[in-house]
Amino acid sequence: MNLLHNLNPEQLAAVTLPSQSALILAGAGSGKTRVLTTRIAWLIQTGQVSPAGIMAVTFTNKAAKEMLTRLSTMLPVNTRGMWIGTFHGLCNRLLRTHYRDAALPQSFQILDSQDQLSMIKRMLKAANVDDEKYPAKNLMYFINNAKDQGLRADKVEAYDPIERKMVELYALYDQQCQREGVVDFAELLLRAYELLSRNTPLRQHYQMRFKHVLVDEFQDTNDLQYNLLKLLAGHNEGMGGVIFAVGDDDQSIYAFRGANVGNMQAFERDFRVQNLIKLEQNYRSHGHILDSANFLIANNTKRLGKNLRTDAGQGEPVRIYEASSDLEEAQWIIEEAKSLMGEGVARSEIAILYRSNAQSRVIEHALFAAGIPYTVYGGLRYFQRAEVKHAIAYLQLMDNPHNDSAFLRVVNFPTRGIGVRSIEQLQMAADTYGISLYAAVPYMTGKAGTSLGAFVKLVEGARFETQQLALPEMVRVVLERSNLLTHYANEKEGADRIENLEQMVNAATQFVQEEGFGQFAPAHLGPPSQAQVGDAVVYQDGIEILDADAPLPSVMSPLSAFLSHASLEAGDAQAQAGQDAMQLMTVHSAKGLEFDAVFITGLEEGLFPHESSARELDGVDEERRLMYVAITRARKRLYMSFTQQRMLHGQTRYNMKSRFFDELPEEALKWLSPRVQSHWFANKKAPNAWDDAAFRNAGSDNKIAQQLTQKSGSSSSGWRIGETVAHAKFGEGVIVNIEGGAGAARAQINFGPSGIKVLDLSVAKLERVSR
DNA sequence: GGAAAGATATTTTTT
DNA sequence: ATATCTTTCC
């Protein structure tokens, strides 16, 4: 079978590049994943590298899985042992293998964001810190931010007393984590980075091993991730590691969580990239859609530069609708969606996108009322649910009793008469001796001592009893001994929770099978020693290196592995009923997906671009990239909508239409509601709200528009709240409020950049812009 | 220990 | 409007 079959010239060039670092600028829908996986397969097939010499990094488990699946269809190799995974997954593997060198306990556990926050709250309380002045969330952000930049507390520069205190608390937090044997997400990466940078033989070992490092979504890397990659490639040591980075600066939408697009330019410079390949052939969208995307994104400066092209025809125009309210916007979406489904478009091929989650509600209501099946992306994932986290906490305590977060979560759940008072005492004892809560239990006396002692016995008993058991049975026993099942059985609404708990046995079974734990030593042998596995233990300069060919089961117990898995892979959201349903999601979560038809909703100033983006450096550029991502999700049909009036935080808001409309090519658009001319004011043209030609051209589409057009009344002044008007000095604005009766009416008008003005309607010269 | 009332915050998200 | 967290009261 020929791997290179059906690749276009750019793709082919990228796949078959010589062994040098390269940057692949891969536009939306340009076959990025295909190039990445084919490159790996090609390198292996041509004998340039063995599967063990490859590392491929992604950001999400989904992307990693996708890569593995595709790779195994291309090559007859066992992908299980390969180093393909997320940054966090691979760092976890590295740290498990070298836990001693990384100064971690063998069964260290991973805190998810929830655990991290609760741990910080606890720490603030214990340290008697004013949580008004130092909110736990801020501190968490501060700590993660520092770690994402590779900075320990002693390296963070503090410029004021507040920051100095935060740094102090950061140090305290790290100490506490170390004491408990837990690491947060950022710590996984930072630890791995420090491990490799301090331990030269180890670093060199991996540098020699990974001849080719491939990185997906490179524009999303943060500073720490980039530095880690540099380290692995032996960038400063002439180790000749080769990085194949694939990314798209135009789709960089995660600056808010530390992603640094600048890494792309830095990479080009640092690695003297001679091979910059642009994948600009788009295989997804029709012409008008692609033109819209190209036009829009051209408004961003600081681009590496890229223009997508397609062989598909122009296709349908992008349809735009101005609704009178959010409710009516939802109504319109449903009408259009129904007509699409009438044309044979599957429900699951229709996506409704919004900038923020709060917008989904109205749409959901409308869909529900119309009886159309839909699924909302996001929401609680399986391993995040309270009952599942409780069960996990018992397992965590059995594997590492010093995890205080786990301890506190279940010490009195289900209730066993251990109240706040007892916990306070216990906490004090733990603080006094600098030990974990679990370890402090023996110091407790009296009634508290008895009940806490009973809890410890419960955990120890469960551990003892399950020593001989395989993971799924172990889970089963824990569910029963913890009394979680009985507890929820007595609850009114406990049925779903019980089901989720039972589900955990299946999750464990599946995990054991997929990760190959079944064929290795059962749990009662404990984690197999390296000698038992006998797999490539290398000694260099007295430092023991378990070669990473050793699969996961040889470096950790099934339980530890399962707990890692629960933290690193939170699982799916709702048990998705397999039925054909419309897809609702934020623009962010739509990244990487594609649909036949896409609705981009709420295109209003303040919402999209979001108002908070105005405050951030290059914030609007990022919003524009977000819009670019949204547009490029669509294959055949694209709809955009905005509304004059919308409920937000319990208040009615009147927003202007999004500036992004002015950045789209007119000839690709079809305004379904009476046309709002762009830039008419700047061009000194008369407003022509009722563009008759456009209206007539709208044809059948407009039946819906007409039906839905708001008929509700204008005020006695002749103007209506929500209406867009133009003023000679202030430009376009939206009427936010009208005060006073006929004759003496004044209007509050939001002119966006010029602010909100109160104008006397009998004096001010206003022009209608729409309707 | 748990329900009820009051306070608070509300962009985007993965690991 | 609403969800979530905190305080207050039985």
Model confidence over A68-123: pLDDT tens digits?
999 999 998 888 889 999 999 999 999 999 999 999 999 999 999 999 999 998 88
The answer to which of A103-107, A306-310, A535-539, A614-618 has the lowest mean pLDDT is A535-539
- A459, A401 contact by CB (below 8 A): yes
- A39, A15 contact by CB (below 8 A): yes
Give the pLDDT of residue A131: 79
Does the pLDDT of residue A399 top 80, yes or no?
A: yes
A62 Cβ contacts chain B strand, under 7 Å: yes
The answer to which of A114-123, A466-475, A599-608, A698-707 has the lowest mean pLDDT is A698-707
* Catalytic residue IDs of A: 32-33, 216-217, 251, 633
State the CB neighbour count (10 A cutoff) for residue A67. 23
Angle between helices A223-232 and A185-198 (to 10 degrees): 30
- A442, A472 contact by CB (below 8 A): no
Q: How far is the CA of A125 from the C1' of B8 (A)?
A: 20
Give the pLDDT of residue A53: 93
Q: How far is the CA of A447 from the C1' of C10 (A)?
A: 25
Nearest to A404 by CA among A186, A181, A556: A181
Q: Tell me how far apart the alpha carbons of residues A244 and A142 are, in angstroms, rounded to a whole number.
A: 32
Which has the higher per-residue pLDDT, A738 or A668?
A: A668
> In A339-385, at which residue ranges do the beta strands (DSSP E only) sit?
350-354, 374-376
In the three-class reduction of DSSP (H, G, I as helix; E, B as strand; rest coil), residue A604 is classed as: strand
Would the CA dihedral through A668, A672, A678, A681 be positive or negative?
Answer: positive
Q: Report the pLDDT averaged over residues A163-172.
A: 93
The answer to which of A100-104, A401-405, A545-549, A747-751 has the lowest mean pLDDT is A545-549
- A133, A162 contact by CB (below 8 A): yes
Exposed / middle / buried, residue A524 (Cβ in 10 Å: 0-12, 13-18, 19+): exposed
Confidence label for A325 from pLDDT (cuts 50, 70 and 90): very high
Q: Is A27 annotated as a binding residue?
A: yes
Name the closest nucleotide to A568, judged by C1' and CA: B15
Q: Is A668 annotated as a binding residue?
A: no
Q: What is the DSSP letter of A591?
A: T
DSSP lists the bridge partners of residue A648 as: A651
Q: Is A26 annotated as a binding residue?
A: yes
A488 Cβ contacts chain B strand, under 7 Å: no
Q: How far is the CA of A251 from the C1' of B12 (A)?
A: 14
Q: Which of residues 614-673 of A touch strand B (CB under 7 A)?
A: 616, 649-650
Name the closest nucleotide to A117, judged by C1' and CA: C5
Q: Tell me how far apart the alpha carbons of residues A381 and A623 are, in angstroms, rounded to a whole number.
A: 27
Task: Please give the span between the terminal C-alpha atoms of chain A, in angstroms, as a whole number.
Answer: 61
Q: How far is the CA of A384 from the C1' of C1 (A)?
A: 25
Q: How far is the CA of A656 from the C1' of B11 (A)?
A: 19
Nucleotides of C under 7 A from a protein CB: 1-2, 6
DSSP lists the bridge partners of residue A319 as: A639, A670
Give the pLDDT of residue A16: 96
Give the pLDDT of residue A745: 66
A89 Cβ contacts chain B strand, under 7 Å: yes
A612 Cβ contacts chain B strand, under 7 Å: yes
pLDDT tens per residue across span A39-48: 999 999 999 9
Which has the higher per-residue pLDDT, A759 or A452?
A: A452
Q: Which of residues 240-279 of A touch strand B (CB under 7 A)?
A: 254, 256-257
Confidence label for A139 from pLDDT (cuts 50, 70 and 90): very high
Q: Report the pLDDT averaged over residues A344-354.
A: 97
Q: Is A658 annotated as a binding residue?
A: no
Q: Is A32 annotated as a binding residue?
A: yes
Q: How far is the CA of A507 from the C1' of B3 (A)?
A: 35
Name the closest nucleotide to A121, judged by C1' and CA: C5
Name the closest nucleotide to A365, judged by C1' and CA: C1
Does the pLDDT of residue A695 top 60, yes or no?
A: no
Cis peptide before A414 (omega within 30 of 0): yes
Q: Report the pLDDT averaged over residues A352-357.
A: 97
Q: Report the pLDDT averaged over residues A197-215.
A: 94
Nucleotides of B under 7 A from a protein CB: 1-2, 10-15
Q: How far is the CA of A256 from the C1' of B2 (A)?
A: 39
Q: How far is the CA of A332 from the C1' of B6 (A)?
A: 39
Name the closest nucleotide to A608, judged by C1' and CA: B11
Confidence label for A737 from pLDDT (cuts 50, 70 and 90): low
Q: Report the pLDDT averaged over residues A438-444.
A: 94
A613 Cβ contacts chain B strand, under 7 Å: yes
| Lookup: tokens for A315 | 């296709």
Which has the higher per-residue pLDDT, A601 or A496?
A: A601
Give the pLDDT of residue A541: 38
User: What phi-psi label fits residue A173: left (phi over 0), alpha (psi between -120 and 50 degrees) or beta?
Assistant: alpha
In the three-class reduction of DSSP (H, G, I as helix; E, B as strand; rest coil), residue A641 is classed as: strand
Continuous H helices in A181-321: 185-198, 200-209, 223-232, 262-270, 287-297
Give the pLDDT of residue A702: 40
Q: Report the pLDDT averaged over residues A493-498.
A: 84
Q: Report the pLDDT averaged over residues A504-530.
A: 67
A419 Cβ contacts chain B strand, under 7 Å: yes
Does the pLDDT of residue A3 top 80, yes or no?
A: yes
Q: Is A150 annotated as a binding residue?
A: no
| Lookup: tokens for A254 | 């995660």
Give residues lining strand C (CB < 7 Å).
Answer: A 121, 361, 647, 649-650
Does the pLDDT of residue A529 top 50, yes or no?
A: no
Q: Report the pLDDT averaged over residues A61-72.
A: 95
A415 Cβ contacts chain B strand, under 7 Å: yes
Confidence label for A686 from pLDDT (cuts 50, 70 and 90): very low
A86 Cβ contacts chain B strand, under 7 Å: yes
Angle between helices A87-97 and A558-568 (to 10 degrees): 160
Does the pLDDT of residue A708 top 90, yes or no?
A: no
Q: If you count DSSP H runs as helices and E runs as strands, how many of each does chain A have, helices first?
A: 28, 26
Residue with tokens 């309210």: A325
Give the pLDDT of residue A550: 55
Name the closest nucleotide to A136, judged by C1' and CA: C5
Q: Is A241 annotated as a binding residue?
A: no
- A748, A736 contact by CB (below 8 A): yes
Pairing assessment for the beta strands A669-671 and A318-323 based on DSSP bridges: parallel
Q: How far is the CA of A423 from the C1' of C8 (A)?
A: 21
Q: Tell me how far apart the alpha carbons of residues A673 and A771 are, in angstroms, rounded to a whole number.
A: 9
A448 Cβ contacts chain B strand, under 7 Å: no
Q: Tell me how far apart the alpha carbons of residues A326 and A358 are, in angstroms, rounded to a whole number.
A: 12
Does the pLDDT of residue A177 top 70, yes or no?
A: yes
Name the closest nucleotide to A648, judged by C1' and CA: C1
Confidence label for A756 from pLDDT (cuts 50, 70 and 90): low
Q: Is A561 annotated as a binding residue?
A: no
| Lookup: tokens for A764 | 């001010």
Which has the higher per-residue pLDDT, A728 or A105?
A: A105
Name the closest nucleotide to A86, judged by C1' and CA: B15
Q: How far is the CA of A384 from the C1' of B2 (A)?
A: 24
Give the pLDDT of residue A531: 33
In the three-class reduction of DSSP (H, G, I as helix; E, B as strand; rest coil), residue A595 is classed as: strand
| Lookup: tokens for A435 | 């030990």
Give the pLDDT of residue A173: 95
Which has the higher per-residue pLDDT, A660 or A499?
A: A660
Residue with tokens 């977000």: A626
- A363, A643 contact by CB (below 8 A): no
Smallest CA–C1' distance to B11, residue? A356
Distance set, CA A221 to CA A54, A148, A263 (Å): 19, 10, 7
A99 Cβ contacts chain B strand, under 7 Å: no
Q: Which of residues 491-550 of A touch strand B (CB under 7 A)?
A: none
Residue with tokens 């509700």: A712
pTM: 0.85
